Amino acid sequence: MFIPRYRKDSHKVPILSKKEIDDIAEQFLIDFSPAVLQKPQEVNIEAFIERYLGLQLDFQYLSHDCRYLGMTVFNDTDKVIIYSPEDNMADYIHADHGTVIIDPHLLADHQEHRYRFTLGHEGGHWIFDRDYYGYDPNQLTLFASNESYIQCRDINANYLFSNPKHRNKSQWMEWQADKFAAAILMPETSVNHLLGQSKPLFSPSDVYRAVKEITQVFNVSEQAAYLRLCDLQIIARPVTDDEYRQLSFL
């Protein structure tokens, strides 16, 4: 199994650029499913999470209003907060170290893209953030974190327009997990093979066509495809906030 190496700050929060995350994702794919890099195709993200990373997948309602999509559990705990629709109240359940919990709302047919991206996002948390959240129960210290899991809100565009200088450690970890999800689902090598693109796209029709192609081949949302093309600088320039919200396919 590929084990990535990267820098961390004094609090064990990873220090990663978009390029480093792209490279790490492709190294995982070389080990897990090299065919994806040779012929652009959909990544089996469930198999990556369960069979390759060895995580346990569970489904629990995480809130009453779908504000939370997924959760990664780093330490055995009896204090995972879920929502019980039957009782219309919050409850606690046990979850083991290495559990990824997904809100069942994402199992609906029209939520497949969000489901796949959420799996990739939680996989990114497991890969990058175990040192920050995890602990050895036999070696607890006064400085050990008592946080056993990370709970994630809606994703994709949360940090597109945020100023990196103003992100706290939690926001950096969410940003990194988002970028990993995009990189594992839409690998740079595969995207370049698919589009055969040597020059940035300027024309709205060219952008729209590229987004549609990425969406169909990699089974991702149009929003995720568009943001990925921006990150890879295949689209000529970053969009403004207003332009982003006015794009017809998002």
**191 within some domain:** no
Phi-psi region of 18 (alpha: psi -120 to 50; beta: other; left: phi over 0): alpha
d(CA 161, CA 108): 29
**110 within some domain:** yes
pLDDT at 83 (0 to 100): 94
pTM, full prediction = 0.89
**93 within some domain:** yes
**225 within some domain:** no
Return the structure tokens found at 111: 């939520």
Domain total of the chain: 1
Decide if 36 contacts 184 (C-beta within 8 A). Answer: no
d(CA 112, CA 45): 12
Q: Which amino acid is at 14?
A: P
**43 within some domain:** yes
Give the CA distances from residue 32 to residues 25, 44, 45, in Å, rounded to whole numbers and listed in that order.
10, 10, 10
pLDDT at 122 (0 to 100): 97
d(CA 129, CA 173): 7
Tens of pLDDT, residue by residue, the chain (250 residues): 999 999 999 989 999 999 999 999 999 999 999 999 999 999 999 999 999 999 999 999 999 888 899 999 999 999 999 999 998 999 999 999 999 999 999 999 899 999 999 999 999 999 999 999 876 555 544 333 457 888 887 654 445 555 676 688 888 999 999 999 999 999 999 999 999 866 788 787 888 899 999 999 999 999 899 999 989 999 876 655 566 555 655 5
Provide the domain limits for residue 126.
Answer: 7-186
Looking up tokens 């689209």, which residue turns up? 235
d(CA 110, CA 130): 32
pLDDT at 156 (0 to 100): 44
DSSP H helices, the chain, are 18-32, 35-38, 45-47, 112-133, 169-185, 188-195, 204-218, 222-231, 241-246
DSSP H helices, 18-70, are 18-32, 35-38, 45-47
pLDDT at 64 (0 to 100): 87
pLDDT at 159 (0 to 100): 52
pLDDT at 205 (0 to 100): 82
Q: Which amino acid is at 71?
A: M
**181 within some domain:** yes
